Amino acid sequence: MNIAWTAQDNAFRQEVIQFFERELTDELRNAGRFMTSVYGDHELCLRWQRKLLAQGWLAPSWPVESGGCDWSVAQHYIFAQEKAYAGAPPVSPMGIQMCAPALIAFGTAEQKTFFLPRMLSGEHFWCQGYSEPGAGSDLAALNMTAVDEGDTFVCNGSKLWSTHAHVANWVFCLVRTSREDRPQKGITFLLIEMGSPGIDVRPIVSLTGEHIQNEIIFTDVRVPKTNAVGKIGAGWTVAKYLLEFERGGAAYAPLMHVRLRELRQLALQAPSDQGGCLADDPLFMSRLADVECQVNALELYELETLSRLTRGESPGASASVLKILGTELQQAVTELGLDAAGHYSTAFQPQAGHPGGPVLRAHRSDAFSGGRAAALAPLRYFNERAGTIYAGSNEIQRNILAKTVLGL
């Protein structure tokens, strides 16, 4: 694999940089740079989605005839790099990066014609209906039923941890259409309109006070059978294909490079227990250098995986490798950030209320000039704890690799 940038690559990089400089307002930039969750502000991300759509860069990995870009492997990665460097907010991956590849691979011509353009325009905003109260990492244990009644399914059950279900108007669901000898059989991949009678969305508020996740209750919800993607009863195949894109379709390294640069800057300002600044602490800087080496190695693996994606191949086992390496390295970066912020990284902020005495360790804008970076450290630390759990826990990913790669 040749990773040297050509003159054409460098010209494309300049085009991307100029686009970000022209289209990213301060508000949009801040929505990306100061994110402390997996997802950005809903309205701002939709605004950014419309700008990408107008440029023709919203779904670069899609087939060109569906609205994708005829980019080389290098161009895909250059775009991911410059997006991270510019601080652009993310686009919700549920429709464009997750449901869409499943539709493109398994959907009918009618389904593609109807859903794909509406995903791009934002007219359809998607959420995911996979996990249930008794089926998380063991997804095949799901119990939400879809009973065949002629031209429709009647759906009953619930889905848990559905991100942005309170603002979505469509959900892609795994439902049980029959009971078979193996739990993976008899599952169907179904597209359901959120405005359908019988759907109740209940908020799950996180410890930070954010309302991102939800529980969805389905009570006698009628869904046209034409909304099934792939064969009825063979939805597990569709779901596994989709999860490959959820786990391995992202570039982790570019944003981690940005975070590591921020950490080096913070280390120059943060006081060390031995006196001077943290950048003079050989133990901390050795840990930082070790993580940087691992991120560089991950970047090469991402380029190799991206090469397969742009040839129309699925990530395959590489999706599990990227999920493990990417999320665990993200956690390592946030642990370094927590150490660099020191006692200014406390998650407890009593100054938000009316304390009975001086608050000696509150976040301050002048905190050893670390300012906002110190305040963001604990929020990013706690957010990244979930990375090794969602989209299939890393223990599950290791089991997948043991089975598919090692044949155990």
Residues with a known catalytic role? 246
Residue 41 DSSP class = -
DSSP at 135:
B
- Residue 284's region, left for phi above 0, alpha for psi from -120 to 50, else beta, is alpha
CA 90 remoteness from chain centre: 9
How many other C-beta atoms can be found within 10 angstroms of the C-beta atom of residue 353? Answer: 8
The residues with which 214 forms a beta bridge, in sequence order, are: 203
Asked if residue 253 lies in contact with residue 291, where contact means CB atoms within 8 angstroms, the answer is no
Q: Which helix (H) or strand (E) holds 399?
A: helix 394-404
What are 58's two structure tokens? 């919203």
Q: Sign (positive/negative) of CA torsion 170, 320, 338, 24?
A: negative
Give the other-Cβ count within 10 Å of 105's Cβ.
16
344's CB contacts (< 8 A; 6+ apart) are: 361, 363, 364, 367, 368, 370, 374, 375, 377
Cα–Cα distance between 260 and 337 in angstroms, integer? 9
User: Does an H or E element contain 206, and which?
Assistant: none
Helices 253-269/371-384 angle, 10° precision = 140
